[in-house]
Structure 1
Amino acid sequence: MEPSSANTGFIQKQPVIRNQFHDDASLQRITKLFLPQSILNQISPEVSKLGDEVLSQQIFDWVVDAERNQPYIRGDGRDAFGRPTSELVVGEGWRKLQEFGFKKGVVALNYDTDYGPYTRLVQFIRCHLWEASCANTLCPAAMQDGAARLLERHLYKNTGLSPTERQVFQNAYNHLTSRDPAKAWTSGQWMTERTGGSDVSRTETVAIYDPYPASSPPPLTDVAEQIPLGPWSISGFKWFSSATDSQMTILLAKTAPDKGLSCFLAPTRRHNPSLPSPTEGSPAGGSELNGVTISRLKRKFGTQSLPTAELELRGMRGWLVGEEGKGVREISTILTITRVHTSVSCMGYLGRSLGIARAFALVREVSGAGVAGGAQGGRVVLLLASHPLHMRTLASVTVEYHALMLLVYYTLFVLGLDERGPPQTSSSSSREDRIPLRPPPQELVSPLLRVLSSLHKAYTCHATPPLVHECMAALGGVGYLMNDESPQIGVARLFRDACVGAIWEGTTDVLAGDTVRALLKKRNPAGKRESECLQALDWFVQTFLGDVCTPDTDMEKEHALGRIRAEWEGLKKRIELAGTAEQLLPEARGVVFRIAEVLMAVLYALDAARNPGAEIEEMCRRYWAKKGFFEGGGCSWQARGGLEMDQAIVYGAGNVTAPGQVRGQGLRGSKL
């Protein structure tokens, strides 16, 4: 017997995190379910390369730097002589990760590349891979994406823009959609105030129309670009701003007591000719914040690399976007985008956490006590990937993860249809170009997106943290460590950051209430016709259940599909009888969660029907049983397939080569 020391004795082998585009069986199924084969073939080489790049040592070095060198205000807001300053400093890692995202077009792809209605899906598959390695730089990118979409709508549909407004909007749009780090902008989305989080009705920010005199040209945002500052002077206090280092913002403000909120575009910096020139020979003056003072930076539980601040606005110059008093409608365009970004971020955190747990299970040995074969003499050790209980636990997380992926990516599918119209096909289309999933009727696309935009985030972001925590626990004590020295296995960081998903862009309760209001809003004020959103969900359930319920459906599956349909009919009746949102509001969370589970149950059946296999059919059964769509649930219900099936669910069917073995690993254990 030899005693161990700090450098001798047993030292755990490092798990190898694999390219998620190939390693994540759920992501592979999602791409097959939602993308035509021709597009999947086209994007696979580039996406596969991205999957390798986001796991590189350079990326993780930048992540560690961004986490250690967190943003701060230089001099705590004052210079050496006590003069107030407001200079935000971010770390090198944060800047490099943001530049990487710009170059890879995590936002720009949706605007400079055309995959038809599948463009959003292609964009977010890339974001899914990048999220867990980006150190939260995808948060300002989400608002960048939303602002680009808002300006795109006005540039191409609003014929009432003045030449100067069009110049300003086009300039901002060009920056927001650029892949050049020297030109690319992110955007803020300044809504939240002390009077209320998601309730913006009590906004205390005020905008006054105060144009510059015609006799003198207005000041510029930048001398080189010759973009004038706006005619509106905006003052107020914004309680949360999560893109403090952005080059522009979209914000809400009041213009009159008798009008609703209005939406504004404002650059965050402006040219001041009285400041010293930054370099010799450059034009006179320098850059300063555009009427913005950083009051303080927030200290947060997670997303610590992300600069989130309290901002005081005094005479910030901006441009009105849309009509006065219609600002909530305008900014809802951004919310639709930022909410899907938030859900995809949760899927990115959970997908990576599962990838880490899978990799760890392939190298971690544990006692085989209680496992079949463990009582034949001697001590049996097993890799975790061959431990029945551990595999059942990871299989359960995987089943939930895939359900959430189905809901989120179906929402992205509908978002793509809303932005770019239905897929273009013809009778002569090749097999690779055929539409993999039936799109809803065009008149139902918008109402379906309206209800899904709140519903998917409410459920997904609420469900994700406990599942990430399960992956953290799968690593034991190592999972609880921040692991700065081995950041590729840092599940604790992912858990910490995933917790914010159910809070920003609308808390779970706020979104549940919003969903209920959408479901009860009738096109006919007299209430003679059901809500368009309810009609759209009904189309979804009835159509896809009809597609998967065929004459050869076995009795167990037919019974489950019948219960899913009955559950939906009960929910629909409950909503219709409520009459008003106020009556249903106390139950909104339960109603919305159950609708989400019905939709995921249907999508599971659809996935199993489109790309059949023993593991997806068992995943479908387990999900239905867990959510109560089988009679005799609980202890009377049993999973099928044992260890081999659990391994197929966790690692993918193609990676299980023999009973109890995963490809490349002999997992049955050894007797010592």
Structure 2
Amino acid sequence: MEPSSANTGFIQQQPIIKNQFHEDVSLQRIANLYLPPSLLENVSPEISRLGDAVLTQQIFDWITDSERNTPYLRGSGRDAFGRPKQELIVTEGWRKLQEFGFANGVVAINYDTPSSGPYSRLIQFIRCHLWEASCANTLCPAAMQDGAARLLQRHLTTPKLAGKLSETEKRVFQNAYDHLTSRDPAYTWTSGQWMTERTGGSDVSQTETVAVYDPFPSDLAEVPLASKEENIPLGPWSISGFKWFSSATDSQMTILLAKTRPGMGVSAFFAPMRRWNPALVSSTGAGAGGTELNGITISRLKNKFGTVGLPTAELELKNMRGWLIGKEGEGIKEISTILNITRVHTTVSSMGYLGRGIGVAKAYALVREAGVGKGRRLPLYKHPLHMRTLADLTAEYHGLMLLTFYTLYILGLDEHRSPSSPSSQSQSTTSSSPGTPQHPLTPPPSLVSPLLRTLSSLHKSFICHSCVPLTFGCMESLGGLGYLVNSESEHLNLSRIFRDACVGAIWEGTTDVLAGDTVRALKHPTIKKEGVGALGWLVQAGLAGLEGSGKEEEEKEEEEGERIRKVWEGLKKKLKTKKQEELLPEARGLTHRLAEVLIAVLWVVDARVRPGREVEGMKKRWMAKHGFGPGSGGDGEEEEVKVEGDGLELDLAIVYGEGGPKGVVEGGGSVPGVSKL
């Protein structure tokens, strides 16, 4: 026997991660379920190209750079003589990843492709799903960029709102909108979304930032400008206060909340991050003028558990100049437009991390062997226990994908019901569509808004919370390798992905905050009837046709439908009979059970539209685990379930698709035709 050394003996073959647009079975099902065939055929080549591009070595090198060289304030915010000089430095990797996102239209695609109609959100977020785990969190400021673009778009294109804007406000808002929706990295802006203060996270009622209407005197020789090149004036409102979290400190603008007078709620403002100062002197002594922060002092940068390349800061505002958006005191109404978008971005981020984690786990199982006793070794993809674990992970992932993309579908329908939609089409839900609605659960127009209002909090509360242990499960499937910070093999770095995935359940509203918000929405005097009614329609429509057939298999489906209805009826009764304050302590459990009911309905529809052994197997296992299986009584207890053909072959079909992994070579685990990263 020869002893091993650092460079001899067994060295594990590297896993190969393949294009997830083709390899991710769940993502393929989602694309086929929601997008009309002609549209899917049209967009698939570009999405496939992106799926390859996000896995290149250059991308992973930029990720490593953004993780190692974290943001900092040059001179800790002062020059050599102690004068304040706010200069935030971000790494080249961060900038390059952000530019990649801009050039690939991760935000712009929703605004510059009107031919996609209400499907533009689905196409956008299929692309974001592929990009999330490779973007090093540059999609965080992009999410706020997206939300700000939608908010400004509403005010510019909705006649009732646009009619209240002055010509100067229209020019200022249009200029910002054009920057936000550009694909030119040299021109594109991101945006901040400043709500959080020391008095509370998502609770903005105690906001201590104050805005005072203080227009510049009309006899000024030169109007103060935000941008000299574009001749954009600064706003008439002076804003001062302290913002506790700013996760887009390198952005070019922000939407923020402030109070304007006692007894009135918070108001929303648009403000540029920088302003023109003609008196600025350069380091060479030339007095040519230049830009400086718009009344902003970066107090300090946050030191975080994850998302370390993302510059998050505490900001002090003194006479920051901005523009009022909408009416005074209606800031929550205005900012909710942004929150609807940033929350789905956060959910897709969590799902993108989980999807990549499963992709890495699948690739690792093809090349790694494990002992099974008496000197026998098996590739992990032939190990019954390992594959059952991955199959269970995949089933949970697909259930979450169903709810995520249904929410995105409803968001797209909602945005395309009015002239303020990206395509500026008619009031019809489908008038700008390239085809008839693909999904069987397309609601009537009257239910779109109340359904979105409920889903906007519910989906994030449940999905982001659920993704954390599932992403850890992917990391665990690699054993000790998964726990390492594999920056030298960044495509395998699941410890980074896990750390970053944890934030999804925290920012844009924690699990409990959004669960409470869901309950408030369903108990609100003016919307509770519509919200509960919309959920009832979804359950009824999804389970329609599951009764009265008489055939054995269809009788089982009928029983499954009855178990789902039973749970829904119990939840509906609780919502109708209990007061809001009685429901609040159990809001998390109630909201998450509602989410499970909706996912169960979506499972039924998915299996009906695109039947197959693997989807039926996943569905039955998921139903049993979440209390909808035979004998469960809808009480949430997991029951053992037997699936026809249950075993390794079915698990392989669930994880790798029908037929199991393709092109596996015994002993080497390589997959021909796929280049190693």
TM-score range, shorter chain: over 0.9
1:351 to 2:355 alignment: yes
Letter in 1 for 2:444: P
How far apart in 2 are the matches of 1:638 and 1:200?
50
Letter in 1 for 2:595: A
**TM-score under structure 1 length normalisation:** 0.93
Q: CA deviation at 1:438?
A: 3.8
Task: Kindly indicate whether the alpha-carbon contact (under 8 Å) linking 2:441 and 2:541 is maintained by their aligned counterparts in 1.
Answer: no
Where does 1:598-613 land on structure 2 (aligned, <5 Å)? 598-613=597-612
Q: CA deviation at 1:206?
A: 0.3
Q: 1:352 to 1:213 in 2, by over 3 A?
A: same
Letter in 2 for 1:160: K
Q: Aligned Cα RMSD in Å? A: 1.9
Match of 1:665 in 2: 664
Task: Kindly indicate whether the alpha-carbon contact (under 8 Å) linking 2:629 and 2:639 is maintained by their aligned counterparts in 1.
Answer: no
1:211 to 2:215 alignment: yes
Match of 2:656 in 1: 651
Match of 2:586 in 1: 587
Q: CA deviation at 1:284?
A: 3.0
Where does 1:16-55 land on structure 2 (aligned, <5 Å)? 16-55=16-55
Q: 1:531 aligns with which of 529, 532, 540?
A: 529
Where does 1:125-164 land on structure 2 (aligned, <5 Å)? 125-157=126-158, 158=161, 159-164=163-168
Task: Kindly indicate whether the alpha-carbon contact (under 8 Å) linking 2:194 and 2:256 is maintained by their aligned counterparts in 1.
Answer: yes
Task: Kindly indicate whether the alpha-carbon contact (under 8 Å) linking 2:482 and 2:494 is maintained by their aligned counterparts in 1.
Answer: yes
Q: CA deviation at 1:118?
A: 0.5
Letter in 2 for 1:393: T
Where does 1:191-590 land on structure 2 (aligned, <5 Å)? 191-216=195-220, 217-276=222-281, 284-369=288-373, 379-421=375-417, 423-424=429-430, 435-523=438-526, 531-547=529-545, 551=549, 552=551, 554-578=554-578, 580-590=579-589
How far apart in 1 are the matches of 2:611 and 2:183?
39
Q: CA deviation at 1:560?
A: 1.3
Q: CA deviation at 1:550?
A: 6.8
SS in 1 for 2:410: helix
Q: CA deviation at 1:280?
A: 11
Q: 1:219 to 1:406 in 2, by over 3 A?
A: same
SS in 2 for 1:270: strand
How far apart in 2 are the matches of 1:286 and 1:665?
60
How far apart in 1 are the matches of 2:253 and 2:455?
29
How far apart in 2 are the matches of 1:99 and 1:425?
34
Letter in 2 for 1:557: E
Letter in 2 for 1:424: T
Q: CA deviation at 1:420?
A: 0.6
Task: Kindly indicate whether the alpha-carbon contact (under 8 Å) linking 1:458 and 1:507 is maintained by their aligned counterparts in 2.
Answer: yes
Match of 1:372 in 2: none
Match of 2:58 in 1: 58
SS in 2 for 1:311: strand
Q: CA deviation at 1:523?
A: 2.9
How far apart in 2 are the matches of 1:187 and 1:318?
14
Letter in 1 for 2:138: T
Match of 1:15 in 2: 15
Letter in 1 for 2:535: L
Task: Kindly indicate whether the alpha-carbon contact (under 8 Å) linking 1:137 and 1:306 is maintained by their aligned counterparts in 2.
Answer: yes
SS in 2 for 1:632: coil
Stretches of structure 1 lacking an aligned partner (at least 5 in a row): 370-374, 525-529, 657-661
SS in 2 for 1:344: helix
**TM-score under structure 2 length normalisation:** 0.93
| % identical aligned pairs | 64
Q: 1:337 to 1:547 in 2, by over 3 A?
A: farther
Stretches of structure 2 lacking an aligned partner (at least 5 in a row): 418-427, 633-637, 670-677
Task: Kindly indicate whether the alpha-carbon contact (under 8 Å) linking 1:366 and 1:383 is maintained by their aligned counterparts in 2.
Answer: yes
Q: CA deviation at 1:208?
A: 0.5
Match of 2:420 in 1: none
How far apart in 1 are the matches of 2:649 and 2:548?
29
Match of 2:174 in 1: 170
How far apart in 1 are the matches of 2:662 and 2:100?
33
Task: Kindly indicate whether the alpha-carbon contact (under 8 Å) linking 1:502 and 1:508 is maintained by their aligned counterparts in 2.
Answer: yes
Aligned length: 646
How far apart in 2 are the matches of 1:248 and 1:5?
56
Q: 1:555 to 1:667 in 2, by over 3 A?
A: farther
SS in 2 for 1:303: coil
Task: Kindly indicate whether the alpha-carbon contact (under 8 Å) linking 1:346 and 1:461 is maintained by their aligned counterparts in 2.
Answer: yes
SS in 1 for 2:488: coil
Letter in 1 for 2:525: K
Q: More deviation in 301-310 or 82-91?
A: 82-91
Any idea what the Cα deviations from partners look like across 1:559-594, whole Å, max 9, x if unmatched? 11100011101100010001x321210011110000
Q: 1:669 to 1:84 in 2, by over 3 A?
A: closer
Q: CA deviation at 1:555?
A: 2.5
Q: CA deviation at 1:531?
A: 1.7
Q: CA deviation at 1:87?
A: 0.9
